[in-house]
Structure 1
Amino acid sequence: MWLAQGDALREWHENRAKPDVGIVLNTGAGKTLVGLLMAQSLVNEQREKVLYACSSIQLVEQTTEKARGYGLDVTTYFRHEFSNDLFTRGEAPCITTYQALFNGKSKFLNEHLAAVIFDDAHAAEHLLRDHFSLRIARKEFSDVYAAVHALFKRYHDKTGKAGSYAELEDPRCHHLFLIPPFELHSQLGEMTRILHEARLQQEKSTMFAWEHVRDHVDTCCIMISGDDITITPPFVPVRSLPYFNTGIRRVYLSATLSAPDAFARTFGCIPEEVIAPTTTAGECERLIVIPSRANLERDDIEMAKELIDRRKALVLVPTYSRATRWEDVVQPPPRKDVSRYVREFRDAPAADSVKLLLAARYDGVDLPGDTCRVMVIDDLPMGVGPLERYLWERLRLSAILRTAIASRVVQSFGRISRGMSDHGVVIL
């Protein structure tokens, strides 16, 4: 083990009884091994159930592969299946996804847990909000959309926004309207009737979030856009979940633990202890290229495409819609095959000039050394939901999201920079 890993484990062991502990280790400093050893140590201590949460199935598979390489037994849970019974017998931790942990019908809500390890804790904020946000898509629930839209038409007529609100009749409209709480309360009876008659609990796209918000619509934000209606709490009520009960220990692993205010918005608390051993791992040599600063009258994406034309390169974009701007160079892999595509890209020789495009995946892809020397980050690496978009675009409260965006940028650099002897080029 490296010295920083040992320092992190020793200091954590002295504070292991505390309910909330943060562990900060640079990308490439081996925090996965540290987290896995902590998880197994907690299992050994209590002979009870311990969860290790990752942000995607691809990361679950990658972490499981590492655990086996270290000689550690683990259970995995994703797509409604356990890989073995070691977790239920209290002999090994279970590696699962944030999605499996926080959806409204999670099987872990009724499990007696001893501890939860949150990997890549800096990436959890938008994942948690997604699970507490009920999205009613216009295409799928056209009658519900029309009824809710009509319900608040009179209010927008009275406030002088009749014209822009009427434009929502076009699904391509990008306007976003926040329904004020006082107006929601005045129409709450009718709103509740519309939602309950929609049978949201029976549709796969809505059943999990509906479980969280069905009794709390009156305390949620209602956002209406051209293609959907979103019902989301102003602050994600994670403290209402059993994972945050007294008696359960929580460890938050991160390369860039976000500012205290952002952390509190995500997990409803601030860690009592933050352990951040000094390490030079991850302090690599990077050349950062920003084509838009070149003062040339050319599109910076086209310039980036030229730069990576004859090179093996990773391209990161925030959404699948943004990925369409790269379709003449590379297509994103199917969602269920991301792990296979990452492995094939990693194993391909640099001389092949292959490309890999990933949408909204800024964590957990490890491409050290010659497996990848060039990376493109196209657009802000931020999973922004309707509420964040409203704060950013309409209220100009960009400072709220800056710390989150900054940490995602720094974190994304680590995809191709994995150690002190590593180096690479990042094109922004």
Structure 2
Amino acid sequence: MSIFSNIGQGNPADSTVDPKQLFRALPKPSGSPFRFPHDIQTEVWDKWFQRRNEPDLVVKMNTGSGKTVVGLLILKSSLNEKKEPAVYLVPNKQLVAQVCRTADNLGIKWTKDPRDPIFRQHQAILITTVHTMYNGKSKFGLHGTLAQSIPVSTVIIDDAHACIPIIEEQFSLTIPAQSPQYRELLALFNEELKKQSMAGHTAIMEGRGTRSVPVPYWDWQAQQDSAYRILSTFAGDEGQNENAQFGWPMLQEHLQLCEAVFSPQQVEVRLPYPDLAVVPSYMKASRRIYMTATLADDSMLTTHMAVASECVTDPIVPSSAGDLGDRIILTPMETSRVITKEQVLASVQVWAQNRNVVVIVPSRHRAQDWESLTTEIHDASTIESVVQKLTRGHLGLVVLIARYDGVDLPGDACRILILDGLPERYSPFEQVEAAALGGTETMNVRQVQRIEQGMGRGVRSTDDYCVAMLLDPRLVERLYDASAKEQLSPATRAQYELSNALAAEGRGKTMSFFDEAIEGFLERDPEWVSASKQSIANVTYGEASVVPPEVRAERDAFTCAMSGQYLEAGRVLQQIYDKVPDNRLKGWLKQRGASYINLVDPEQARKLQYSARTDNNYILKTSGQSSARRQPSNANQAAEAAQYMNKNYSTLQSFEVGIESLLRDLTPSIESGTYRRFEAAFETLGCILGFTSSRPDNESGRGPDNLWTMSTGQHWVVEAKSEAAAETISRDYLGQLSGSADWFDATYAGTSFTQVPILIHPSRTPNWDATPRQGARIMSFERLKELRDAVKNFAVALADKERFRDQTAVGANLRQFHLSADELTQQWTQDFLPQASQH
């Protein structure tokens, strides 16, 4: 036989197009786990094959249902049919390695290098991270550069919800406060930053705290030439951080559309949405497939990836949604009020002796709670190695920092998964967005999806099983909301409801009840296994999610603005303002529209910005615009309190969990950024106690952190220093309190209203050079703790027979726990102590 004998005899693995037939034709190695496809996989392949020539397709499958195999066969089919390059994109290198192993077991050739000839000659699939394609030095080539673009025919973005934030991040540039360009930009926008937030501006100038202050778009656009020069200089310095080298090329052509936000640590400049056209390889691909887990909301595919809403609402899904591994979802501390966190941690130590227990926390500070139990605390820099260790065998208790997605922990790698805290938003822009949209449906949906993504880390196949435990009351509070449950995927919702049935039996029980439940679950108790399988057996995906009209409008408007059609961009958004039910979101969108219009018609933009501020007090304010006076209610305190609690807590359980979450947020912490939660919780506490409660500084950049308006006409003017740790009170802090008192005098001039300026601080002792304003009071952290205890007892009393809905009971307990307006100041605040001596 000649060495040329096989020439011309086509290999069916390189010519078969139908994915089912292709699966059989692939030269799988001996020992491959993929001998036969699952029914769900063949069903998805059939549906894709019929629609394969649509430019954008969304494929939704449960985690662990063989999604990677489905994706690889789709790419190989496209490679065989079109004879053009195919790319498989994932969020991180760990998942690249997993997809490569799957490809090996399927007998599919692959490479990780975009410059590899076997990829360019369409002989192998490229498997790489989404960052490899989208960055300022992309090996695929960038629009407007000399580098030749690599032609790509088919692209799969797997785990799309985790990939999108990575793409979004590439269209941002961060300049640290230590850089001379930070100081140049700060000098350029100094006056406007001061107008937006006096407290934020002070923090930025002094380099302390984490307050973020946005640059108004009208000032940013007016200073384009200077900003461009400064940013270009920063990016051109090769000694600067990598972010500049990779971010600046993605922004420089559309700087007028960017948003800039300062914090004491950095200034962030970013586009509102990704400019996908900057990488022609992606935009020119004839097939783009977005593979996602079964999250209910896919709006980000439209806003960030420009996927048509018609495509998002018509995804390819299996007929059954029951192809999910087994989970029991437990909330011991919220289910039974007698259980403490210390008791849970004691049980965790026992579980970790024989099994891998993985804890996900939102920050390094929160990880400190676990340092006494384990040294295995890992962030992005070490996560890959620890996941390998977990996969190989028993490691015990492992803590992962801020890894709610993009990590797989199959089988014994994780049998108990604990979420201890909500995913936090840390970048300056994210903080501004969270302040503007906090509490809206948009933000709540994002949080619920991150929680579900986190819970899914430990179940990676249909025969896998894992305990999912929620420790932070804020997590549980979010899921107790009726609308939040609808945002869970169908199978997860079914598992959550089954777990709640068990939880009903655990009310008032000790931790031993949950220890027994966990042990039975992990030992695969037949009664649980049967009930669990039955709960998801008939679950389907139901109706496709509806993409709200504002989502499509946001992307369309951005596309218009990118092409210089600024008035048209504003008009696109204007058409949907009346269709947005939430005023805070409406105001945010109006501001976005005004930022486009301002480039050609500043007067029209200014009018729209005024209207936006009327809808949302937490966005940019223009000159002469301030928050309206808060008027005391005519109703008595008990009536207001009962009305608020009845409106905001639909069930006894939501009331109990809501109060616990509130009290946690009212606990001071030196963790950077926690002041936002503290101030928000103090605002809510005012409402619960029956006062008109607001946050003037957060709304307008002027005034105190918190303002409680009582029916008597008295006001608490509060400066909250919940992150402070000093043993004395600084002159600066007392100056801020005095400034807030002056703000009150000016704002409420001509009225009979009175004020009590109050500083919340760990100490009662002013520094030697600091003098309190006359009439000012101090709430020390010690007195604050006593107030929290009183509020807790107040809530416990009202929880009995849901008496928090009864005005008479509320009034009696306000007096019982010294929370009535006439007792409040004397009971919970004190005089300042004498000044500390000068050393």
TM over 0.5: yes
Of 396, 399, 407, the residue aligned with 1:357 is 399
Which structure ranks higher in relative contact order (CA pairs < 8 Å, sequence separation ≥ 6)? 1
Of 374, 390, 409, the residue aligned with 1:345 is 390
Counterparts of 2:439 and 2:230 in 1: how far apart (Å)?
Answer: 32
What SS does the corresponding residue of 2:202 show, helix, strand or coil? helix
Letter in 1 for 2:402: A
> 1:358: Cα distance to partner?
2.5
Counterparts of 2:83 and 2:317 in 1: how far apart (Å)?
Answer: 28
Counterparts of 1:151 and 1:378 in 2: how far apart (Å)?
Answer: 41
Counterpart of 2:217 in structure 1 is 181
> Are residue 332 (structure 1) and residue 374 (structure 2) matched?
no
Q: Between the two proteins, what is the percent identity of the paired residues? A: 27
Of 346, 359, 362, the residue aligned with 1:306 is 346
Structure 1 residues 365-399: Cα deviation after superposition (integer angstroms, max 9, x where no partner): 33334442101112223665432321212453643
TM-score by length of 1: 0.88
Of 210, 215, 222, the residue aligned with 2:253 is 215
Mapping for residues 238-257 of structure 1, pairs under 5 Å: 238-257=276-295
Stretches of structure 2 lacking an aligned partner (at least 5 in a row): 1-36, 142-148, 471-839
What SS does the corresponding residue of 1:86 show, helix, strand or coil? helix
> Are residue 373 (structure 1) and residue 415 (structure 2) matched?
yes
Letter in 1 for 2:297: A
* Range with bigger deviation, 175-184 or 230-239: 230-239
Letter in 2 for 1:414: G
Q: Quick one: structure 1 residues 234 and 397, their matched pair in 2 at CA, closer, same or farther if it must change by over 3 Å?
A: farther
Of 79, 91, 97, the residue aligned with 2:123 is 91
Q: Quick one: structure 1 residues 46 and 217, their matched pair in 2 at CA, closer, same or farther if it must change by over 3 Å?
A: same
> Are residue 402 (structure 1) and residue 444 (structure 2) matched?
yes
Structure 1 residues 12-68: Cα deviation after superposition (integer angstroms, max 9, x where no partner): 011111100111110110101101111111111122111100100111011111221
Letter in 2 for 1:52: Y
Counterparts of 1:120 and 1:383 in 2: how far apart (Å)?
Answer: 20
Counterpart of 1:232 in structure 2 is 270
* Range with bigger deviation, 259-268 or 176-185: 259-268
Letter in 1 for 2:122: G
> Are residue 154 (structure 1) and residue 178 (structure 2) matched?
no
* Range with bigger deviation, 358-367 or 48-57: 358-367
Contact 1:373 1:416 in 2 (8 A): yes
Contact 1:258 1:404 in 2 (8 A): no
Of 266, 285, 304, the residue aligned with 2:304 is 266
Q: Quick one: structure 1 residues 160 and 181, their matched pair in 2 at CA, closer, same or farther if it must change by over 3 Å?
A: closer
* Range with bigger deviation, 159-168 or 93-102: 159-168
Contact 1:133 1:231 in 2 (8 A): yes
Counterpart of 1:132 in structure 2 is 171
Q: More helix by proportion, 1 or 2? A: 2
> 1:245: Cα distance to partner?
2.8
Q: Quick one: structure 1 residues 208 and 253, their matched pair in 2 at CA, closer, same or farther if it must change by over 3 Å?
A: same
Contact 1:49 1:88 in 2 (8 A): yes
Letter in 2 for 1:122: H
Letter in 1 for 2:54: K
The RMSD of aligned alpha carbons is: 2.6
* Range with bigger deviation, 89-98 or 181-190: 181-190
Of 182, 203, 208, the residue aligned with 1:167 is 203
Structure 1 residues 192-212: Cα deviation after superposition (integer angstroms, max 9, x where no partner): 232233344633231111011
Q: Quick one: structure 1 residues 18 and 321, their matched pair in 2 at CA, closer, same or farther if it must change by over 3 Å?
A: farther
TM-score by length of 2: 0.47
Q: Quick one: structure 1 residues 305 and 67, their matched pair in 2 at CA, closer, same or farther if it must change by over 3 Å?
A: farther
Q: Quick one: structure 1 residues 375 and 334, their matched pair in 2 at CA, closer, same or farther if it must change by over 3 Å?
A: closer
Q: Quick one: structure 1 residues 67 and 146, their matched pair in 2 at CA, closer, same or farther if it must change by over 3 Å?
A: same
Counterparts of 1:199 and 1:182 in 2: how far apart (Å)?
Answer: 24
Contact 2:234 2:244 in 1 (8 A): no
* Range with bigger deviation, 12-21 or 361-370: 361-370
Counterpart of 1:6 in structure 2 is 42
Structure 1 residues 292-323: Cα deviation after superposition (integer angstroms, max 9, x where no partner): 5643595x4x5553332122201223344544
> 1:155: Cα distance to partner?
2.2
Matched length: 416
* Range with bigger deviation, 235-244 or 67-76: 235-244
Letter in 2 for 1:346: T
Counterpart of 2:150 in structure 1 is 111
Mapping for residues 286-325 of structure 1, pairs under 5 Å: 286-291=328-333, 294-295=336-337, 300=341, 302=342, 304-310=344-350, 311=352, 312-320=356-364, 322-325=366-369
* Range with bigger deviation, 146-155 or 252-261: 252-261
Structure 1 residues 97-123: Cα deviation after superposition (integer angstroms, max 9, x where no partner): 011111111011311111110000111
Counterparts of 2:430 and 2:440 in 1: how far apart (Å)?
Answer: 9
What SS does the corresponding residue of 2:42 show, helix, strand or coil? helix
Of 73, 85, 110, the residue aligned with 1:49 is 85
Q: Quick one: structure 1 residues 92 and 303, their matched pair in 2 at CA, closer, same or farther if it must change by over 3 Å?
A: farther
Counterparts of 2:345 and 2:92 in 1: how far apart (Å)?
Answer: 28
Q: Quick one: structure 1 residues 283 and 198, their matched pair in 2 at CA, closer, same or farther if it must change by over 3 Å?
A: closer
Counterparts of 1:188 and 1:56 in 2: how far apart (Å)?
Answer: 35
Counterparts of 1:104 and 1:397 in 2: how far apart (Å)?
Answer: 35
Q: Quick one: structure 1 residues 339 and 267, their matched pair in 2 at CA, closer, same or farther if it must change by over 3 Å?
A: same
Q: Quick one: structure 1 residues 397 and 101, their matched pair in 2 at CA, closer, same or farther if it must change by over 3 Å?
A: farther
Mapping for residues 53-92 of structure 1, pairs under 5 Å: 53-77=89-113, 85-92=117-124
Contact 2:86 2:154 in 1 (8 A): yes
* Range with bigger deviation, 115-124 or 244-253: 244-253
Q: More strand by proportion, 1 or 2? A: 1
* Range with bigger deviation, 100-109 or 27-36: 100-109
Letter in 1 for 2:184: A
Structure 1 residues 400-421: Cα deviation after superposition (integer angstroms, max 9, x where no partner): 2332332222222222223444
* Range with bigger deviation, 376-385 or 26-35: 376-385
Counterpart of 2:132 in structure 1 is 100
Contact 1:201 1:210 in 2 (8 A): no
Letter in 2 for 1:102: Y
Counterparts of 1:426 and 1:245 in 2: how far apart (Å)?
Answer: 39
Counterparts of 1:373 and 1:131 in 2: how far apart (Å)?
Answer: 35
Q: Quick one: structure 1 residues 161 and 339, their matched pair in 2 at CA, closer, same or farther if it must change by over 3 Å?
A: closer
Contact 2:157 2:290 in 1 (8 A): yes
Counterparts of 1:268 and 1:27 in 2: how far apart (Å)?
Answer: 24
Counterparts of 2:45 and 2:117 in 1: how far apart (Å)?
Answer: 27
